[in-house]
Structures are given as structure tokens and as C-alpha cells.
Amino acid sequence: MAGMALLLGVVVTLDSCSGDRRPVSDAEPAQVVFVPKVGGIAYFDAMNAGGMQAARRFGIHWSTRAPASVAPADQVAILQGLIDDQVDAIAVAPNDPASLAPVIAEARAQGIHVLTTDTDAATSQREVFVDQASAEGIGKAVVDALMDKTGGAGEFAVVSCGRTAANLNAWIDAEKAYAAQRYPQARLVETVYAGEDVTTATNLAKQVLDRHPQLTGLIGQCTTSAPGVARAVRDQQKIGRVYTVGTGTPQTMKPYLLDGSCSMTVLWNVESLGYLTAWTAKQLAAGTALRPSNDVSPELPAVKYDERAHTIRLGDPLLITQDNVDQYKY
């Protein structure tokens, strides 16, 4: 991850809930549970690996409860169970922020710390959002990578995942705004939603290609649609005529980067995102205030915290190509 400038400043305090329990001491390992969007996806497996690494270093008890589907009710049920279990902190990547808001409020009323990670629920009572990179930074990187291949012109489409995924929708909005301003000869012709399923993303991408024979680019907006759009281009033998970029995990995207069906994957160090999530949960459970600049680890020496938005941000996006893909093992 690109290094971030060290910011000096005074300690800032987090909003608290009157139901917050006594801070957890080092002698009492905090019980932190990570709730990803869905189980069985390499991206969230990598986040979990990073969280486990941090848990070992910082002496917390880290576990994962993954829903079987992206149905919002599945995450709600998991959070209800964690409230019953009286865990110390919940780190959740919301599929549908609005659906989670009431159960997050219930958890906070019970004194359980709640942070969002990967995807925010900004209007809920979550205490902190652990952000991977700014929407504007991701959107610019994705569009620039695609336009570099299409000559800054032509028709392109987006295959996203969940319709209500706040992070993906923010990236799409950023891409639309940036493309309109920077590449006026390019036109976004369609956006479709595949859930978190590679096969569905592949089939939808093929349908988009059929509907738009002049299409020159496809964006795979999540870690399952990124390989889906590349596979569609490969299956329809359009490598070199239709270019794809996405936000796929490195080793999942490696075959497509090598054969040219994907030009670039724009991501971040996913294991580091999990590590930062666990570290942040530890601070909440211990009652430790976040600073404007936080020395999380030797690899994350100056992680910025925005007190106004209650957001701690990992850093800048990573640009992953066939030349550097093997630097990342997930």
C-alpha cells in the first residue's frame, strides 16, 4: 500500500453510547466478531486472515460469522445472535445498510461496540467505519485504467454486485462523475447487478455484450464480478476488442491478467484491511481514542482518522497488473 503522510495532532474522542460496558483490559481478551457480506469469497477470507494476524499480535479473540447468502436478513440474524452472546465488538461489512441500522442500534444500546468495515452504514449508530480507500480514488483509478486501453472513448458498462451495497454505489457514482469530466467521448451505457456470484456476473456481462455490439469496455465493480466480466470477454473471444478492469483479488484475477481478458485490477491490501479492522475493534473495546494519525504496525505507520466522519482509512488503491500480481498471495 502506498505510504501515507504522518499527521500530528491531539487525541480525539469517539462518540459513545450510555450503554457502553467497562473497557476490556489486556487480561481480558476482547471478543471481536467479523461479519462479512457472505461466506466463501476469497476477498473476505483475506480480510479474515489479516484480522487473525492482528488478533494474535494484540491479544484479542477474533472469530468470523459469515452469512450463507447476501440476503440482508441473514446478516440481521447473525447480529441478533451476537447481541444475545454479549460479544464485546462486532465488525460488519453491510450488504444493506438500512436493514442493519435497527440491529446496530440494539447492539449499541446493549453496550456492544459496532464498527463497519469495507462497506459503511453511515446513517446507523456504528462508531467507526474502516475504509479501504476513498470512493474518488477508486473511481479515478478504475476509469483511468479502462480509458488507457480504449483511447479515452467508446461505450462501456458496469457489472456490479448488490444494488444496495453502499461502497459499490459510491464507486459507481465517482466513476460516472470522473468519466464525464475527464473523458467526454466515453459513454456509460448500462449498469447491471449480479449479487455476489461469478457465474451470474459472467452471464450478465455476456448479455450486455450482446445488447451493445460497439462496447469497448467493462468494469467489474466487485471481487466476484471482476472475474465474471473477464471470463465473458474471454468466452466470447473478444480479448483485445473489449477491455475489462475491476476490483478483483490478485490471485483470482491472475489468469485473466495473464491472458489479457483483464487489463488491471484496482484494489488495496485486503489482508491489511482486515488487520486494521481488528486493531480498530481493539481500540474501541479498550476505550482507547483514535488519533488523527495512528501507528498501527510497521506496515501501517500513519493511518489517518477523520473524526468528523468517524472514518479510519487504509490508504490509496493498489494497481495490480500481470507484472506485480504475484506480490500478493490472496
Q: What does each of the 330 residues of the chain score in pLDDT, given as a tens digit?
A: 333 332 222 223 333 344 565 577 666 899 999 999 999 999 999 999 999 999 999 999 999 999 999 999 999 999 999 999 999 999 999 999 999 999 999 999 999 999 999 999 999 999 999 999 999 999 999 999 999 999 999 999 999 999 999 999 999 999 999 999 999 999 999 999 999 999 999 999 999 999 999 999 999 999 999 999 999 999 999 999 999 999 999 999 999 999 999 999 999 999 999 999 999 999 999 999 999 999 999 999 999 999 999 999 999 999 999 999 999 989
DSSP state, residue 149: H
Determine the pLDDT at residue 222. Answer: 96
Per-residue pLDDT, 3: 34
CB < 8 Å & 24+ apart, contacts of 176-183: 177/139, 178/136, 178/139, 178/140, 178/143, 179/143, 179/147, 182/143, 182/144, 182/147, 183/143, 183/147, 183/152, 183/153
In the chain, the domains with their CATH numbers are: 31-132+269-315 (3.40.50.2300), 135-267 (3.40.50.2300)
Inter-residue contact 49 to 271 (CB < 8 Å): yes
Residue 47 CB contacts under 8 Å (≥ 6 apart), including other chains: 34, 36, 117, 118, 270, 271, 273, 274, 277
The beta strands (E) that lie in 70-117 are given as 89-92, 113-117
Q: In this structure, are residues 42 and 251 in contact, taking their beta carbons and an 8 Å threshold?
A: yes
Is pTM beyond 0.85 here?
yes
Report the half-sphere exposure of 130 (CA within 13 A, side-chain side). Answer: 31
**Which residues neighbour 233 within 8 Å (Cβ) at sequence distance 6 or greater?**
205, 209, 218, 239, 242, 243, 244, 261
Q: From start to end of the chain, where are the E strands?
A: 31-35, 61-64, 89-92, 113-117, 128-131, 154-160, 186-193, 215-220, 243-246, 264-267, 293-294, 303-306, 311-313, 318-320
Closest-CA residue to 226 (of 256, 271, 190): 256
Q: Which set of grid coordinates corresponds to residue 279?
A: 486493531
Give me the pLDDT at residue 20, please: 60
Contact 91, 117 (CB under 8 A): yes
C-alpha cell at 65: 460469522
Residue 292 is predicted with a pLDDT of 98
Q: How many helices (H) and strands (E) does the chain have?
A: 9, 14
Name residues whose C-beta falls within 8 Å of residue 49's C-beta, 6 or more positions apart in sequence: 271, 274, 330
Residue at grid coordinates 441478533: 80
Bridge partners, 311 (sequence order): 129, 306
CA distance linking residue 101 with residue 116, whole number of Å: 11
